[in-house]
Amino acid sequence: METLENRLQKRIHISLYALLFLITLLGLSVLLEGCTDKCEVTTEYTYFEPVYTTVEDIRSSIDLVAPQVIHAVGKIYFKDGIIFLNEPGEGIHIINNQDPSNPVFLSFLKIPGNTDLAIKGKTLYADSYVDLVAFDVSDVASIHEVNRVEGVFKNYQIYGMQMNAKCCVVTSWEEKKNVYITDSDCNPVRSFNNAWGVRPFESGIAVSSDMSFSAKAAFTPGTGSGSGVGGSLAKFTINGDYLYLLDGGDLQTVSVVEEQNPVEKTRMFLSWDIETIFPHKTNLFVGSSSGMHILDVIAPESPVKLSTYEHVRSCDPVVVDDDYAYVTLRSGTQCQGFTNQLEIIDIKNLSAPQLIKTYPMTNPHGLGIDNKTLFICDGSDGLKTFDATDILKIDENLLAHYKNINAIDVIPFNNILMMIGEEGILQFDYSNPKDIKLLSKIAISHEE
Amino acid sequence: MKSSSLRIILLLVVGSLSASAQADSLVSKATYFNSVYSGALLAKKGDGTSLSVSTIHGIRKNRLASGVGVGYDAYPDWRTLPVFASVGYDLSKPGKNDLFIQIMAGYAKAWVPETENSEYIYESKGGRIIHPLIGYRIRSGQFSLYFTAGYQWQRILYEEKIRGWDNPTSKVSIQREIQRISLQIGFGLH
């Protein structure tokens, strides 16, 4: 029999439990308002801050010094038995190539910011950041600056950092790291992860580590009296007494009537994606990511655009012989496109170029043609030589395929094929195109 | 919630319960128990209601119950698989029905279900979880029915990346703290 005291005690306990439970539920409901997600976001990023050098310092640092090890190859120019080999951003290696089987390094011409060159007669023209510099190369043992066109490159920039020709230019980049912590509402963090390739940031830029500051390797040809020869990826070329420069989206004309006294002339806009320039007779063929522009330079200071042959978006070096233009299209990060092929374009009527035929390729880069022998650097698929006599059956007339050569561009000249590849510069005797013979190799040092 | 203060609370609870258990252990022997909980994790409006299930297996001795468990929580974005230790204490002497408190603490693997259209990729290291609660147990023979209410705190550490874009120049690391009110019902043996 339960006593009154026990029953009372039990009821008190039950009441207390119920009260405790209710208080707990009440507390929980108050707490509910604070129940949410909170995020602490730690963003670590690397960016590059530009290092500026005054133009006075740059202009005073040009010098002819002892031969240097080659760390990277850029444009190449061949003139009177001498190879002028650009090392992007650094200068030009002077190499005696009278005997292609035994090239001899003579000297190194330090030119800060140099990426391209051309030669007329005894004068070498080279860019140095925003300037065009003329050198007397009549005696390769004492090459020296003779003139300079200051600030001729109006569109000089590096990854969006504009240069000031009167003050300073970006000459290097300093890598920096930064970390910042923020609180957020846990929505996806749209931060640097959204940066695609290059992004201006604070006083510098963030770039992907796989992007390089080195200019891509290239060669450049020339026409007219006294100019040298080159390849298919040039941004400089000489036609007659005029030097034509690709500067951003513009074609800049420079008179070199007086070799050692270059004079800035006219400038015309072509398109923002122009990449290469190739002269032929009184015409210029300008390759761009989206097509090939054909210009008439009968009036050298007033180039006239005759036509534009449009193609899919791609990198497109071009070479030309009398009736046809040979264009290779390739895919890749810089080129954006997905096409890898050789296009043959009929240019008998320069105002209306017509595509004749396309041939599939692996990843074609530069190309060269000499007396209907066509050389194509097909990336990892090596070097291919074709007899291009029958323009419609080029693929059926493969003369040779050298698969173990990773080629970027070629200069075929007087039976000597100068080829630039990942390993360096190789020279071949192609007097028999079916059996080219290695003559020499100029190696690139991969050490810092 | 600071981790140091959580540890102190945990030690106090476990210490006091252990002391009480030692006293009770003189009069009773340990028995096996298990329980399966299922319920909702509530957040303030806009953060969604989440499903939570868990199971605990352990030893009960007098007022003290300790064990280990595994669970599954489905938040609106995240899924977690916590593995935890559990300590419970009955507030009243062993009887038919008991009011009890319990705390679970452990580590949870975490992930975000991927879909083909997901713009982001999340690489998670998981994180700690603490879940104190108060509950009421109704016994019927060998079986028990549980009603609980509690507070669940969970941390998830992860990196966020954009799909198809591996940017080597930046890394976004996120420490996410999830706080929820839990309301659960459960059943179990003993």
Asked if A43's CB is within 8 angstroms of B169's CB, the reply is no
Asked if B99's CB is within 8 angstroms of A17's CB, the reply is yes
Q: Is the pLDDT of residue B165 over 80?
A: no
Q: Is A233 helix (H, G, I), strand (E, B) or coil?
A: coil
Distance from CA of A201 to the nearest CA of B (A): 12
| Tokens encoding B13 | 């609870």
Share of chain A above pLDDT 90, in %: 38
Radius of gyration of chain B (CA): 19
Compute how many other C-beta atoms are within 10 angstroms of the C-beta atom of residue A397: 14
Distance from CA of B11 to the nearest CA of A (A): 22
Beta strands in A185-323 (DSSP E): 198-201, 204-207, 236-239, 242-247, 250-255, 263-269, 274-280, 283-288, 291-296, 304-310, 318-320
Q: How many CB pairs under 8 A join A and B?
A: 109
Chain B residues with at least one Cβ partner in A under 8 Å: 42-44, 47, 92, 99, 119-120, 134, 136, 149-151, 160-162, 165, 167-181
Q: What angle do CA B22, B19, B94 make, to 5 degrees?
A: 65
Phi, psi of A26 (to 5 degrees): -65, -45
Q: Check the CA dihedral B96-B97-B99-B103 and report its sign.
A: positive
Residue A312: band (very low, low, confident or very high) from pLDDT cuts 50, 70, 90: low
Q: Are B89 and B17 in contact (CB under 8 A)?
A: yes
Closest residue of B to A48, CA-based?
A: B169
Lowest mean pLDDT among A288-297, A430-439, B9-18: B9-18
Contacts of B173 in chain A (CB under 8 A): 41-44
Closest CA to B92 of A327, A229, A10, A285: A10
Q: Is the pLDDT of residue A337 over 50?
A: yes
* Residue among A28, A36, A209 whose CB faces B43 most closely: A36
* Residue among B160, B167, B179 whose CB faces A188 most closely: B160
Q: Are A286 and A249 in contact (CB under 8 A)?
A: no
Distance from CA of B169 to the nearest CA of A (A): 5
Contacts of A193 in chain B (CB under 8 A): 160-162, 165, 167, 170, 172
* Residue among A17, A28, A193 whose CB faces B161 most closely: A193
Residue A394: band (very low, low, confident or very high) from pLDDT cuts 50, 70, 90: very high
* Residue among B42, B167, B170 whose CB faces A35 most closely: B42
Q: Tell me, what's the pLDDT at A232?
A: 63
Share of chain A above pLDDT 70, in %: 83
Q: Tell me, what's the pLDDT at A190?
A: 52
ipTM of predicted complex: 0.79
| Tokens encoding A303 | 């180039």
Q: Tell me, what's the pLDDT at A227?
A: 52
Q: Tell me, what's the pLDDT at A106?
A: 95
Q: Are B64 and B89 in contact (CB under 8 A)?
A: yes
pLDDT in tens, B15-72: 444 444 444 444 468 899 999 999 999 988 777 889 999 999 999 998 999 999 999 9
Q: Tell me, what's the pLDDT at A218?
A: 27
Residue where the block lists tokens 């879940």: B131
Residue A230: band (very low, low, confident or very high) from pLDDT cuts 50, 70, 90: low
Q: What is the mean pLDDT of chain A?
A: 82
* Residue among B42, B44, B176 whose CB faces A39 most closely: B176
Q: Are B53 and B38 in contact (CB under 8 A)?
A: yes
Chain A residues with at least one Cβ partner in B under 8 Å: 13, 17, 20-21, 24-25, 28-29, 31-47, 186, 188-189, 191-196, 206-210
Residue B15, judged by CB atoms within 10 A of its CB (0-12, 13-18, 19+), counts as: exposed
Asked if A45's CB is within 8 angstroms of B171's CB, the reply is yes
Counts for chain B of helices (H) and strands (E), in that order: 1, 8
* Residue among A17, A32, A189 whose CB faces B181 most closely: A32
| Tokens encoding A100 | 């292609």
Closest residue of B to A207, CA-based?
A: B169
Between A311 and B23, whose confidence is greater?
A311
Q: Is the pLDDT of residue B128 over 90?
A: yes
Contacts of A186 in chain B (CB under 8 A): 174, 176
Between B1 and A13, whose confidence is greater?
A13
Closest residue of B to A43, CA-based?
A: B172
Q: Tell me, what's the pLDDT at A189?
A: 56
Q: Tell me, what's the pLDDT at A199?
A: 46
Q: What angle do CA A239, A243, A244 make, to 5 degrees?
A: 90
* Residue among A38, A42, A206 whose CB faces B177 most closely: A38
Q: Is the pLDDT of residue B7 over 80?
A: no
One DSSP character per residue, B26-58 reads TT---EEEEEEEEEEEE-STTS--EEEEEEEEE
Share of chain B above pLDDT 90, in %: 55
Phi-psi region of B129 (alpha: psi -120 to 50; beta: other; left: phi over 0): beta
- Looking at beta carbons, which pairs linking B27-30 to residues 24 or more positions away fall under 8 Å? B27/B62, B28/B61, B28/B62, B28/B94, B29/B61, B30/B59, B30/B60, B30/B61
pLDDT in tens, A346-387: 999 999 999 999 999 988 888 888 888 999 988 888 889 999
Asked if A45's CB is within 8 angstroms of B176's CB, the reply is no
β-bridge mates for residue B83, sequence order: B70, B107
Residue B133: band (very low, low, confident or very high) from pLDDT cuts 50, 70, 90: very high
- Which of B42, B163, B170 is the best mutation test for A, with the most CBs of A within 10 A? B170
- Which of A193, A196, A333 is the best mutation test for B, with the most CBs of B within 10 A? A193
One-letter amino acid identity for A280?
Answer: H
Q: Check the CA dihedral A349-A353-A354-A355 and report its sign.
A: positive
Most confident of the following: A134-143, A314-323, A417-426? A134-143
Q: Tell me, what's the pLDDT at A3?
A: 81
One DSSP character per residue, A174-190 reads EEEEEEEEEEE-SS---
Interval A215-243 mean pLDDT: 59
Q: Tell me, what's the pLDDT at A307?
A: 93
Q: Is the pLDDT of residue A169 over 90?
A: no
H or E stretch at A5: helix A4-32
Asked if A21's CB is within 8 angstroms of B136's CB, the reply is yes
Contacts of A31 in chain B (CB under 8 A): 151, 181
Interval B124-131 mean pLDDT: 95
Distance from CA of A434 to the nearest CA of B (A): 44
Q: Are B112 and B144 in contact (CB under 8 A)?
A: no
pLDDT in tens, A112-162: 989 899 999 999 999 998 899 999 999 999 999 999 999 898 877 655 555
Q: Tell me, what's the pLDDT at A310?
A: 81
One DSSP character per residue, A292-316 reads EEEEE-SSTTS-EEEEEEE-SSSB-
Distance from CA of B33 to the nearest CA of A (A): 24
Q: Tell me, what's the pLDDT at A395?
A: 92
Lowest mean pLDDT among A47-51, A305-309, B74-78, B166-170: B166-170
Compute how many other C-beta atoms are within 10 angstroms of the C-beta atom of residue B14: 17
Phi-psi region of B5 (alpha: psi -120 to 50; beta: other; left: phi over 0): alpha
Contacts of A13 in chain B (CB under 8 A): 92
Closest CA to A75 of A219, A214, A216: A219
Between A195 and A136, whose confidence is greater?
A136
Q: Are A375 and A410 in contact (CB under 8 A)?
A: yes
Closest residue of A to B42, CA-based?
A: A32
Q: Are A85 and A71 in contact (CB under 8 A)?
A: no
Contacts of B170 in chain A (CB under 8 A): 43-46, 191-193, 195, 206
| Tokens encoding A311 | 């193609």
Q: pTM higher than 0.80, yes or no?
A: no
Q: Tell me, what's the pLDDT at A79?
A: 87
Q: Distance between CA atoms of A42 and A180, rounded to whole angstroms?
A: 6
Residue A160, judged by CB atoms within 10 A of its CB (0-12, 13-18, 19+), counts as: exposed
Q: Tell me, what's the pLDDT at A233?
A: 66
Lowest mean pLDDT among A16-25, A34-43, A283-292, B127-136: A16-25
Q: Tell me, what's the pLDDT at A322?
A: 81
* Residue among A28, A32, A41 whose CB faces B172 most closely: A41
Lowest mean pLDDT among A82-86, A399-403, B8-12, B67-71: B8-12
Q: Are B34 and B56 in contact (CB under 8 A)?
A: yes
Q: Distance between CA atoms of A277 and A234, rounded to whole angstroms?
A: 6
Closest CA to A321 of A369, A364, A358: A369
**What is Dmax (Cα atoms) for chain A?**
129
Residue A111: band (very low, low, confident or very high) from pLDDT cuts 50, 70, 90: very high
Per-state percent for chain A, helix, strand, coil, to nearest 5: 10, 50, 40
Q: Tell me, what's the pLDDT at A137?
A: 95
Asked if A42's CB is within 8 angstroms of B175's CB, the reply is yes
Lowest mean pLDDT among A97-111, A162-176, A237-251, B110-124: A162-176
Q: Are A263 and A274 in contact (CB under 8 A)?
A: no
